[in-house]
Amino acid sequence: MKIVIVNGQNHVGSTCRIARDLARKVGGEVTEFFLPRDFDEPCVGCTGCFMKDRHKCPHFDKLEPITQAIDAADLIILASPVYVFHATAQMMALLDHYGYRWIIHRPEPQMFHKQAVCISTAAGGGMRSTNRDMSDSLFFWGIAKIYKLGYAIRAVNYDSITEKRRAKIERDTASLAARINRAYGHVKPGLRTKLWFYMVRFFHKQNRIGADWDYWEKMGWHAKKRPWQGG
Ligand SMILES: Cc1cc2nc3c(=O)[nH]c(=O)nc-3n(C[C@H](O)[C@H](O)[C@H](O)COP(=O)(O)O)c2cc1C
């Protein structure tokens, strides 16, 4: 299995340790990125990606290694510590660059066959909103199966987490790794994703214009093809 880990911080802290532990238990070839080390640009709001093509993004070349790794991965792990109740600014800056591939625009068909995990850790709280920050993007990219792990670790680093809490994290990652492996190769998106797909398709019937319409037409989604069918 190909796994990509995107860390929303530059250091190997608790969040990264949990992400790596999960990836190790799943097993496979891991590619890892750290933000902002591997991508440090905020979206400039030019809308070139939305209106024309992703190649129009002024950060296209810088972003490409992460994009290629995400596109090639069977499992995407987004891992962010909670910063003021949300994912880190650098994680959000990365995700902003992929707005054009939301299902309401031009989703990549291979996303509909992938699994993803959002991981967040906090001192006390904010894991739900942080995981939501990341899972919103994953869902709207069309990712078929999304899991979330959030921990209030009540410690300044991974090694000082209590034995009991660490044992729970170990159990959770082991059982999630088994789940991911069981689903591997035959994941399909749920009803909510399909509803979004058909809503956009319906909208396109009324508004036959723009780069998004052209893309859907080229993909055959206005006709009988569906992104979750086939390999
Ligand atoms: C800028 C900043 C903001 C933070 N905001 C929160 C917060 O809103 N809630 C919380 O419980 N912990 C917060 N924390 C603590 C971290 O989320 C927590 O220590 C986390 O486990 C760090 O993960 P890491 O070891 O992977 O860096 C914050 C830490 C920093 C540096």
Compute the distance from residue 148 Cα to the ligand 1 centre, in Å.
Answer: 17
Report all structural domains of the chain as residue ranges with CATH numbers, in order of start.
2-188 (3.40.50.360)
Q: Is the CB of 127 under 6 A from ligand 1?
A: no
Residues of the chain with confidence (pLDDT) below 50:
none
pLDDT of residue 38: 98
Q: Is the CB of 120 under 6 A from ligand 1?
A: no
The CB-based long-range contact list for 157-160 (8 Å cut-off, 24+ gap) reads 157/13, 157/14, 158/13, 158/14, 158/17, 158/18
Sheet of 115-122: strand order equals: 29-34, 2-7, 75-81, 115-122, 145-152
Nearest CA to ligand 1 atom 8: 84
Mean pLDDT of the chain, nearest integer: 97
Q: Parallel, antiparallel, or unpaired for β 2-7 and 145-152?
A: unpaired
pLDDT of residue 157: 83
pLDDT of residue 149: 98
Q: Is the CB of 165 under 6 A from ligand 1?
A: no
pLDDT of residue 231: 62
The DSSP line for 38-50 is: S---------HHH
Nearest CA to ligand 1 atom 16: 122
Q: Is the CB of 193 under 6 A from ligand 1?
A: no
Compute the distance from residue 123 Cα to the ligand 1 centre, in Å.
Answer: 6
Q: Is the CB of 14 under 6 A from ligand 1?
A: yes
Supply the pTM of this predicted model: 0.97
Distance of CA 40 to the CA centre of its chain: 18
* Element at 127 (helix H, strand E): helix 127-141
pLDDT of residue 208: 86
Q: How many residues does the chain have?
A: 231
What's phi and psi for 137, nearest 5 deg?
-65, -45
Q: Is the CB of 81 under 6 A from ligand 1?
A: yes
pLDDT of residue 158: 87
